[in-house]
Structure 1
Amino acid sequence: MTMTKEITTAQLAKYLDHTNLKPEATEASIRQTCEEAIKYNTASVCINSHWIPLAAELLKDTTVNPITVVGFPLGATNTETKVYEAITAIDDGAEEIDMVLNVGELIGGNLDYVTADIQAVAEAVHAKHKMLKVIFETSLLNDEQIVNACHASEAAGADYVKTSTGFSTEGATLHNVALMRKTVGNKLGVKASGGIHSRQEALAMIEAGASRLGVSATVKILS
């Protein structure tokens, strides 16, 4: 378990994917997001793929990674589309991919499809030597389904499991983060995303087992 009392602000910053996935985001707001990430030296900037070329240019001489989302926010696009999105984003400069699994197929119990969907994207991403996180949308799932999603992600070769898109009914909860960490052990990373607005909440998520946090309140958390 991480001893959060010992985490400095600089160390906390490297847990954060500074996120701006708003549909109304403009070039000016994406530039601001990147400037904030550079100032605080966060792990990454997480943005929609349209903005990846801009972010890659702005972040090229820093340790902040440009990352993007695939099959976002519903997860219901077909596998081929997700693979194409991922490859195109990486070619445009993305260093990590956060894909939404097929939530409906997971809830319906079609774990073979869910696993194959993730695996196809994982293979494409890893062929480019990049990292894949899998978004579950935990607010729509029960504990058994979350555990199943963890097992599918691990079997498919993903690098991280992630709680939420931030576009559904609820973001990350301590219970779900702890459950995900218990299920994947130290084999995968766990990203808590959605509804984290303060330093106290961020540290609590890390204490529960998160190794990365998706936040838009980065400046508030680190100031």
Structure 2
Amino acid sequence: MAIELTETAVAAAIDHAILKPDLTRADVDRELDVAAEWGVFSVCVRPSDVSYAVRRLAGTAVAVGTVIGFPHGTTSTAAKVAELRQAHEDGASEFDMVVHIGALLGGEDERVVSDIRTVVDAAGGLVTKVILETSFLDDEQIVRGSRLAEAGGATFVKTSTGFAGGGATAEHIALMRRSVSPAVQVKASGGVRGLEAAVAMLEAGATRLGTSASAIILGELRARAAGGPATGTEDAGSY
């Protein structure tokens, strides 16, 4: 698909991931500064960092999102709802929930949809993204998971947590895009660490990118526009 490859357009597709479990407050500060400097759409932070991120990003246009049931998806639905409500109270406006992966693999479609629907309802119309963890799934399961996410009312279906091996591929993004209606968007996450990978995901149908390599991606794009060497070479981490 045709995409706009300007720095502004690509930044507007990025959820800057700040999710590694060993991040200190100083590390979080540095990543929040990266998000603000490059003008990405949002940060996706650990639940315990939501209120802090909201305060620190006040006055910028960067939204704050968080993860629910992360990274395994096996907490109870009630726990996911409680986590979302706390995050919303703390100021998060987007929620990336992990599907119950075992239920999806086991063909418990009604259980999967019920889990998603209950969390979506608790979000009260705010953006919800359902993470399938595609590295565990075959193509049929990716198609079914994508359709179950739509049946549950999700705004997005998303590839990966970034913490289970593997990650987003253009082929999986294209498959997910074909599996849902235009009302549902697709988010690529896991392994999107440079401009080439970002462009491949966007061309395959992703409208949002989850990455900790925002400075690298946007630095490469800025350098390309200026005809100079790449910038923004911070450590991209594992996400």
TM-score of the alignment, normalized to the shorter chain, above 0.5: yes
Give the secondary-structure state (helix, strand or coil) at the position aligned to 1:166. coil
Deviations 1:101-124 (A, max 9, x none): 000000000000000000000000
Give the secondary-structure state (helix, strand or coil) at the position aligned to 2:80. helix
Distance 1:139 1:187 in 2: 25
Q: Which runs of 5+ in 1 are unaligned?
A: none
Distance 1:90 1:28 in 2: 24
1:163 matched to 2:121: no
Match of 1:213 among 209, 213, 218: 209
Per-residue deviation, 1:176: 0.6
1:124 equivalent in structure 2: 122
Match of 2:149 among 144, 153, 158: 153
Distance 1:16 1:146 in 2: 23
1:27 equivalent in structure 2: 25
Matches of residues 184-203 of structure 1 in structure 2 within 5 Å? 184-203=180-199
Match of 1:89 among 73, 87, 90: 87
Q: Which has the larger radius of gyration?
A: 2
Distance 1:113 1:148 in 2: 13
Per-residue deviation, 1:185: 3.3
Structure 2-normalised TM-score? 0.90
Give the secondary-structure state (helix, strand or coil) at the position aligned to 2:202. helix
**RMSD of the alignment, in Å?**
0.9
Deviations 1:151-185 (A, max 9, x none): 11111111000000000120001111000001113
Distance 1:91 1:60 in 2: 16
1:61 matched to 2:69: no
Per-residue deviation, 1:60: 2.1
Q: Which runs of 5+ in 2 are unaligned?
A: 220-239
Structure 1-normalised TM-score? 0.96
